[in-house]
């Protein structure tokens, strides 16, 4: 069965009617993500998950997933890679027992990676859009510093499984192009929502996304009749 890939703009258009109605798409995405993480942990209560969370919706998905994982007994560390988190998801993670490492620095990445069984990459999603549409999907500032440090740490210690939220942070969601390969964390699994991002099916993005798993979260029907940007057999 061919895989259909959609642009960031197409995904945003598909989710807009549901968001306008107050449908909790972020919670649905986070629960699906947490379920995938739990499924690869042999014993959740003895497992450790490192969450790299940005300040936008992608980081919100990751923080809510952290809260669900903590409630399941997983030891969860959340790093606010941009120095802040979305307030409500952060509060949910804290209340559930996840640790928010506000003082952590990129120099700590090697130890955090070594201590983790799973790393969740929730730094940057489709919010910036693709380059061709005027977006800027490359990581910058402290998020870039964290990506570089974690990438390097994984080169030395490839033990933790990496799960990307929607798409690996730093790849172009539309073309799959990568401005700085060392600042992208290669994923073993990408859990994507509503529709597969075109950038996960082509270019360098296809190599970095690992296995791509689509979670419709009750919104994929809004892509019916929408011509995909890319089709991969």
List residues forming the annotated binding site for K(+).
58, 121, 169
Q: CA neighbours within 13 Å on the CB side: how many for 201?
A: 20
The β-bridge relationship of strands 189-193 and 161-165 is parallel
Distance separating alpha carbons of residues 65 and 52, to the nearest angstrom: 12
Residue 167: phi, psi to the nearest 5?
-170, 155
* Tokens encoding 197: 């991002």
Q: Which residues are annotated as a binding site?
A: 57-61, 121, 166, 169
Q: CA neighbours within 13 Å on the CB side: how many for 74?
A: 30
Other C-beta atoms closer than 10 Å to the C-beta of 154 total 18
Q: Which residues are annotated as a binding site for (6S)-NADPHX?
A: 57-61, 166
DSSP for 33-84? HHHHHHHT-SSGGG-EEEEEE-SSHHHHHHHHHHHHHHHTT-EEEEEETTS-
Instruction: Return the exposure string of 20-35: e unless at least 16 CB atoms fall within 10 Å of the residue's CB, then b.
Output: eeeeebbbbbbbbbbe
Is residue 8 a contact partner of residue 230, using CB atoms and an 8 Å limit? no
């Amino acid at each position: 069965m061919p895989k259909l890939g959609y642009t960031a703009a197409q995904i945003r258009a598909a989710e807009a009617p549901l968001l306008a109605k107050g449908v909790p798409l972020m919670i649905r995405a986070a629960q699906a993500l947490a379920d995938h993480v739990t499924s690869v942990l042999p014993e959740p209560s003895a497992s450790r998950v490192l969450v790299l969370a940005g300040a936008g919706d992608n980081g919100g998905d990751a923080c809510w997933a952290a809260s669900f994982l903590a409630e399941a007994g997983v030891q969860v560390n959340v790093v606010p890679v941009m120095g802040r988190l979305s307030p409500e998801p952060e509060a949910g993670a804290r209340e559930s027992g996840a640790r928010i490492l506000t003082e952590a620095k990129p120099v700590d990445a090697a130890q955090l990676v070594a201590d983790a069984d799973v790393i969740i990459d929730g730094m940057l999603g489709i919010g910036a859009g693709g380059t061709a549409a005027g977006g800027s999907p490359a990581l910058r500032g402290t998020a870039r510093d964290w990506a570089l440090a974690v990438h390097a740490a994984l080169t030395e210690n490839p033990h933790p499984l990496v799960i990307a939220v929607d798409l690996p942070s730093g790849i172009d969601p539309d073309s799959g192009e990568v401005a700085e390969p060392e600042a992208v964390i290669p994923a073993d699994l990408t859990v994507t929502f509503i529709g597969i991002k075109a950038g996960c099916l082509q270019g360098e993005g296809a190599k970095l996304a690992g296995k791509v798993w689509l979670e419709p979260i009750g919104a994929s029907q809004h892509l019916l009749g929408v011509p995909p940007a890319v089709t991969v057999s």
